[in-house]
Structure 1
Amino acid sequence: MSSIQANVSPPSLPLSTPSDSPTSLSRSHKDDALAPNPAGTEHPTRAAALLLDAVRDVRQIIRLLQCPICSRIIQEPTTLPCGKSICRSCRPPTHVRTNISWPATENRLRGFECPFPDCRKEHAAADCAVDVTMNKALTFVKAALELERDGSVQSEVSTYVEVQGRWDVAGIPSMEEKEKESRVLKGGRVVATYTLAELGKLDYGCEVSFSTVDAGNDEIEAVDTAIFHKLKESFKTEMDCQVCYALFLDPLTTTCGHTFCRSCLHRILDHSDMCPICRRGLSMQSQLDPQSVPSNDRLCSMINGFWADKVALRSQAHRLEQQANHGGFDIPLFVCTLSFPSMPLFLHVFEPRYRLMIRRAMEADRTFGMVMAKPQNVPGEANFMELGTLLRIVSIEFFPDGRSLLETVGVSRFRVTRDGWLDGYAVANIAKLDDISVAEEEAIEASETMRGVGVRTFTSPTEPRDPAHPQSSGPVRSPPVPISLDDLETMSTQELVDVGINFVTRMRAQSVAWLAARVLAIYGDCPTDPAIFPWWFASILPVKEEEKLSYTKIFYH
């Protein structure tokens, strides 16, 4: 029987509450059902009540179909890296990006300034593709509304719609001398408001008021409720993740335009950097920090508006499922040595407790955490360091006596937030520590290099750094030139990597022991990718592990 002992009392399940934005669909307390909520952690009963209110809030439903830039029904929806969606034709003109040396691929050298006031970041054109999921969903929704409108022509139901400007909504007389847009349109409130938006007569930020024509309020309410449920059914199948085949949970759209649950994309990036649908490369960090990689704002609004109760239950079930295999904790911990992301680590497992842990990991998702043991135990504290690396088992070889040899690779860094014990080995709740995204790296590099010699344009280097290593590229500093700290602060990413690779090349020419053939056989030749080079260099550098960990602590604090 499993025995569990926790060092601290279990915290309650965390609730995720995203920040508000000018493009959020929430306008009042009853609009929460259509407001972005990636975690979907509303209580089911309250979510169902909000869902009924959402049926009556027609304006919010139609706003889901509008482009925030042109206010028209959105065409070829394109989701930007900040999570907002616009028409493809509404994307601002691109310009050549300067002071960027990495990755400096052709499709990232053009960008544009985000049109949303709460972002205003420079987005790479390569990160903005047509949103496949939203495009399909909106196609079905528009088809359902147009079919309903065609049927309304034969009916006697009409609605008087009056557009209220932003000043009117705030109760302040408008300074503009402009007549209010109002007209009688066939159909209930949903169809009438959609028609008004399609005609270009309804600004994205404006509200509307209604009055019925030749019909009672109960009749109009029934018509709108029926349409609401038809809309739900029209695009329900498009709201399923193509990895877990369940309703999206915190939907995240990749740079190629495909959408997955954030947790599903986590698992994908643990094994591959390719989109599982189109097989294009994904320039995304495996940690997928919500601050760096925001959720798809519009899909969150749709899902939480139409299926708030289901998302709430799915979110709770997902959290419990994640912790079920480890006695309420996130992952098991192997207390042994220091490891780094992207780097291999070979382990000989012989202790019974770790043999049990590895067997359970193999039966689950083949992952576990690696942490260093503390030099000295302190009563009442864990006997291991709080920083560690999530490892994935690549291959395993079992021996007749139960021992095993493991080949693992580092996935991502983490910090232990709560720890306990399960059947003799440590388990923990963790918070992943995120490397910065490619877009953030580009922004930091541009800012730092601008402090040096000003505007610079980099291209992908093509000349080899070293004839003996043709797989590397770029210039070699030979003989070495002294570099000041001020120089380092204003160097480009590629120049900094060149300095490191140049040092490794010189040391290898001197046949230093820490660059012996057996070391390179484990960790491979010196990488040229700036995202991998620091971890490779930290793995082979002849420095005590305690010192390496202290530098890592400084970096993450």
Structure 2
Amino acid sequence: PAGSPKRPTPSSGFGSPSPKKRRGRSPEGPQNPWDCPYCGLLLQQPRTLSCGHSVCTGCLEVLMEADHPSRDRACPVCMQRLTASDADRKVCVQLQELITGAFGDEARLVEAYYRGGDAPAPAPKGGLALHHCVAAAALLAHSDVAGALRCLALAQQADCTLHQSYLLESKAHLCGHCSPAAVQALVVGHICARPVPAMEGPHGFTAGLSRLFADPDTTRLQLEACLAVFAKEFSTAPRGDPDTIYLPTARPPSQAPDLDLQACLPRLECSICMNILCDPISLGCGHTFCRPCLRRTLDHDKHCPFCRCRLPYGYISSDQKTNAVLQSLVETYFADELRERQEQLRQEEQTENFDEFPIFVCMVAVPGVSCPLHIFEPRYRLMIRRAWESTKRFGMCAPTADGGYADLGCILEISAIEMLPDGRMHVACTGTQRFHVLEKKKKDGYNVGKIELYDDDPVAEERLDADGSTGALITAVKRRMSDISARVMDMATTESVLGPQPEDDALRSFWYARLICLERQSFLVKMMTLQTKRERYQLLAATIGVELDD
């Protein structure tokens, strides 16, 4: 509306700090989670960006319309570049409900300030300054400069750090043709909104202010006089950043209200599991769910579980950032409930991992060796995506002649996934541990099993190495393998195929076996069954012709 100030933009005043220097409403102390990190006011119609941070709808519009996209079109907290998908995101429903319920009239005051209209009456103590700003904006719309200045004086008396009051004051002075006072109010407003680096202190403003206020009635002497007055309002916070100048009246962020926790709890619950939000993920439609719940839901459907809005192609919940505000509120006010929920999820995951471990029937994989895969069958694409979004692990077993699969396999850990447009996947993974299948099952078309780890036997290892000869055996095999690999292929090519040689001698035995027996699956199976590294190196020595001294 006419007379209602716009949110400050980095280009609207000279001396605005770089984005990395921006902070919230107050330069001292931590950012209040209820406040917008860009304008410093209570979040109004908050939108959660893809990076997990939330800003007001109006602030997001300002950020997306910045004149210098390479510098300004970024999240004001983490500086992640904003994209078109960020601009299309809807208001975060649960966060907006929390703010409205917790702050009540103040939330409506903020909305009135930016949308115009009458302020709610009576104004709450915390929103008194905004109440006067709304009145001043209405008076300015009717060209009542004197009345607007009186209201703004009351606003600054109620809250001396509310930058919007100074920006309105600057506009009022311009309407009254008082340029020096307008300049001073403008700069004070920007200092309240965002601290100014000391290198861009009062004496650095002159040239920029001359460009901003190219008023023929404003002389250089007037500007310098204005800056001389304004300089008295600066001080360097003794316990703050020594490179930043603050107003001496700046105060810490306002404390959060006394919340009715029982009333807030339903707004911090996941609508899928009906428990406290754990690692909350906000979708583009504005609805928020626990990450584990969303992951399970997306196994079967690519729509928002609440509003049925279709999610972007290739959406994987593990790639999405946590809603920072909701996570902070849950950790602050419901820490006990959150710990209980996390423990419950951990137990569920552990039980599921051991009782229904996903198994890909393909070939013999061994620990310590890379195993790149091309996944195209729908059932295995589902299996890999579930593994990627949870533990990033699955098992691989070799097929058997009877159509089943071997009881001994290797756990593969996924390091990266490339999603192709037609749904196929390129999966980079590496063998980590051996396992034994105790019980074989099916789940959604792919194999799962109850497993137990199949590790080396330290007692047997100690018994076989009673004479201390295992070290010499390993050294001899290493020397022989270096000669073989040099003749077959150079080491760089070898490691690009199998991955780097493991530092651990036990894992290196499998790496050697994979190098010399790429096609001999039976040899690899035999290596997998041996539970001491001495036995494996003895088998390698016999295979590659290493002569050992008695």
Superposition TM-score, scaled by structure 1 size: 0.40
- Point out the structure with max Rg over C-alpha: 2
Select the structure that is richer in helix.
2
Larger relative contact order (Cα-Cα within 8 Å, sequence gap ≥ 6): 1
